Amino acid sequence: MPYHEFNCSKCIPERKKHAVIKGPGETLADALPLGYLNTIPGTISERGCAYCGAKHVIGTPMKDVIHMSHGPVGCTYDTWQTKRYISDNDNFQIKYTFATDMKEKHIVFGAEKVLKKNIIEAFNAFPDIKRMTIYQTCASALIGDDMNAIADEVMEEMPEVDIFVCNSPGFGGPSQSGGHHKINIAWINQKVGTVEPKITSDYVINYVGEYNIQGDQMVMLDYFKRMGIQVLSTFTGNGSYDDLRAMHKADLNVLECARSAEYICNELRVRYGTPRLDIDGFGFEPLSASLRKVGLFFGIEDRAKQVIAEETAKWKPQLDWYKERLRGKKVCLWPGGSKLWHWANAIHEEMGVEVVSVYTKFGHQGDMEKGISRCEEGALAIDDPNELEGLEAMEMLQPDIIFTGKRPGEVAKKVRVPYLNAHAYHNGPWKGFEGWVRFARDVYNGIFSPIHQLSMLDISKDEIPTDRGFMTQR
């Protein structure tokens, strides 16, 4: 049986089918954990909610927009300090955060009036910004405020503004993934097709499922531009609201994070006949293959080859320097969603590290399928892990470094495992050829930095341990 049972989760028998170890000669059919199910009562999940998936992952990277949460002020928590989807308009979208600040009286008497007042106040406070997205939260969904009606009212009174309504309350799915789906569909239903763009090239794409973490989008845009491609819109990192209204006019949707944004690509294919091409901006080989595929689609493969040759010549020697030093280091890839399969074999092959575990907090079974198929034998794959399982896995696998989020990352530090931020990166961007070198440098610094060696000291014993401390050394 390939399922892996954690000692700490023996009291939650349903957890057993959520982890597997990839055994020798096993097919994916033997070794696929359950996924995208409701969190099991009793396990402390680290997932986000469907509001978070809609607003904080996909909505807010749109740059020229007032992003207003219709709910309690705490719902706006994720902003400058946790999100790093920068933009070239001085980061307006993460510098300012807006909420209607619902209180008990609004729950009792309704909050439509306060929503309208807030919308107008926000537009007046930022007269240069004429676009707004309003997000439903659990509170406003439960009391049934008609946000669409309020948005229509304001747009009638202020014809120069445009408002997008996202009805994705926190309970709208088992995790943030439910919110990804809702906002994808809401955007195509409400906004795509309402602006006609200026076409400046014979090769026009939408760049989809790209969130410009620490500048990823800007690095990739440079390659597309050098190939003579017009990037009509980016869904949504550093993306402009009105550009995204014109998504219907692209020749091709180039899709990066399929987990969060395949829905809109699939709809664009059904409604407008635009083909979808899945690509990968991480890793020299996957990225080169991706640029070649895009080139091939338009019959400009030679231009792709030129970009690849230039970039590889410039950056490959540096990557190889790190590979030599990182060979055999053990890595846990523990992001939220799709990065486990974007990275698994790419870091193994191009940085020489061993991926001993992958996990996903909200990925679907298809993400696990891709992730596990790209892992080596013996890798431990976990769906929707809880904190104790993470600790047990680290004790069992003794990784040299883990990629994860801030919360599990702090837990890892306590057991003296260095961590890198899989979500917001350390010294990104990590996409593109230069980004991949930065990625390798972060891994190298994470493992070899003297400060981490110091953290291995067990001051309670006043001695220097000969190997990594872990829990037994405390």
Point out which residues bind ligand CFM (CB under 6 A): 53, 57, 176, 211, 213, 257, 259-260, 335-339, 423
Torsion of CA 171, 122, 209, 37, to 10 degrees: -10
Distance CA 134, CA 151 (A): 8
- CB environment 80-113: b (16+ within 10 A), e (fewer): eeebbbbbeeebbbbeebbbbbbeeebeeeebbe
**Which is nearer to ligand CFM, 235 or 322 (by Cβ)?**
235
CB of 52 to ligand CFM, least distance (A): 8
**Which is nearer to ligand CFM, 54 or 308 (by Cβ)?**
54
Residue 354 DSSP SS3: strand
What residues contact 126, with CB distance under 8 A and at least 6 apart? Answer: 66, 96
CB of 143 to ligand CFM, least distance (A): 27
Asked whether the bond before 60 is cis by omega within 30 degrees of 0, the reply is no
Looking up tokens 């919110």, which residue turns up?
179
Strand partners, 354: 330
Looking up tokens 């395949």, which residue turns up?
262
Looking up tokens 């080859």, which residue turns up?
305
- Angstrom CA distances, 271 to 9, 249, 265, stand at 46, 12, 10
**Which is nearer to ligand CFM, 114 or 166 (by Cβ)?**
166
Q: By the 8 A CB rule, do 454 and 401 touch?
A: no
Question: Which strands make up the sheet holding 380-383, listed edge to edge?
Answer: 19-21, 380-383, 354-360, 330-333, 401-404, 419-421
CB of 209 to ligand CFM, least distance (A): 6
CB of 131 to ligand CFM, least distance (A): 22
Residue at shortest CB range from ligand CFM: 336
Looking up tokens 């969190």, which residue turns up?
39
**Which is nearer to ligand CFM, 213 or 227 (by Cβ)?**
213
**Which is nearer to ligand CFM, 67 or 303 (by Cβ)?**
67
**Which is nearer to ligand CFM, 329 or 339 (by Cβ)?**
339
CB of 459 to ligand CFM, least distance (A): 34
**Which is nearer to ligand CFM, 295 or 446 (by Cβ)?**
446
Backbone φ and ψ of 367, nearest 5°: -70, -40
CB of 99 to ligand CFM, least distance (A): 20
CB of 115 to ligand CFM, least distance (A): 26
CB of 256 to ligand CFM, least distance (A): 8
**Which is nearer to ligand CFM, 295 or 335 (by Cβ)?**
335
